[in-house]
Amino acid sequence: MSSPIDHSPATHDGSADVGVLLCHGFTGSPHSMRPWAERVVAEGWSARLPLLPGHGTHWRDANRTTWQDWYATVDAAFADLAGRCEHVFVFGLSMGGTLALRLAEEHADRVAGLVLVNPAVAMLRWDTKFLPILGRLVPSVPAIGNDIAKPGVLEGAYERTPVRAAASLRRFQMAVKADLGKITAPVRLYHSANDHVVEPVNSAMVLQGIASADVEEIVLHDSYHVATLDHDAERIFDGSIDFVRSLTS
């Protein structure tokens, strides 16, 4: 049974040794990351789980925002943690993984490690190149959210996909993909073998593009795109905790 949908952001000031920033995905909200954040807090670590602008309300609000707005929000949360914690890690789902990658590109000296779940750095469907034009004609298209194998679990994402916001996301992905070589932080990347939202080849693009020496890829066979709420959620949570401990002990 799915937990009640809670779109609200979360903040916890715990240890000054470890801080974790958790980033949700496009048209989603902190709800998709809350169980993961709760595990982080249970470790006694500091945590930030922001709500991205234009999210958690109505899809029309997302069309009034751009990737610069979303990145500014996570960048501010990262700066907050970096000002109080010795080691700052970034966990991201889908577009949240894209945001995490950008933070590692821009703050290579302060990102202690990345845990990515089905990160997206490219839209491979041929028609996505027309998103900027489509956005002037149609405000939304059918939703991409709630890709979860586990019965009865809901992501709480928008019921429609905002087209202008999606066009901005595509531009953001292109910028992040171009700078992947700047990333040197340790990376743990989880990707679902059956993902109906982000093409799994995105994970290969990330792994081939980054310059990190400490990299591990884990394939999830029992979960769809929103793996943080799916059958493999505990595997992701446990692995991320072990990852942080291995780099801070």
The one catalytic residue among 29, 32, 94, 240: 94
How far is Cα 222 from Cα 238, in angstroms, rounded to an integer? Answer: 16
Q: Please give the radius of gyration of the chain, using alpha carbons only, rounded to the nearest integer.
A: 17
Please tell me which residue in 195, 230, 232, 240 is annotated as part of the active site. 195
Residue 130 CB neighbours (<10 A): 12
Specify whether 195 is catalytic. Answer: yes
Q: Tell how strand 87-93 and strand 160-162 pair up.
A: unpaired
What is the C-alpha to C-alpha distance for residues 142 and 161, in angstroms, rounded to an integer? Answer: 6
- Judge whether 196 counts as a catalytic residue: no
Candidates 41, 175, 31; CA nearest to 98 is 175
Q: Is 94 a catalytic residue?
A: yes
Measured CA to CA, the distance from residue 233 to residue 68 in angstroms comes to 29
* Pairwise CA distance, residues 53 & 172, whole Å: 15
Residue of 223, 225, 230, 240 marked active site: 225
The catalytic residues are 94, 195, 225
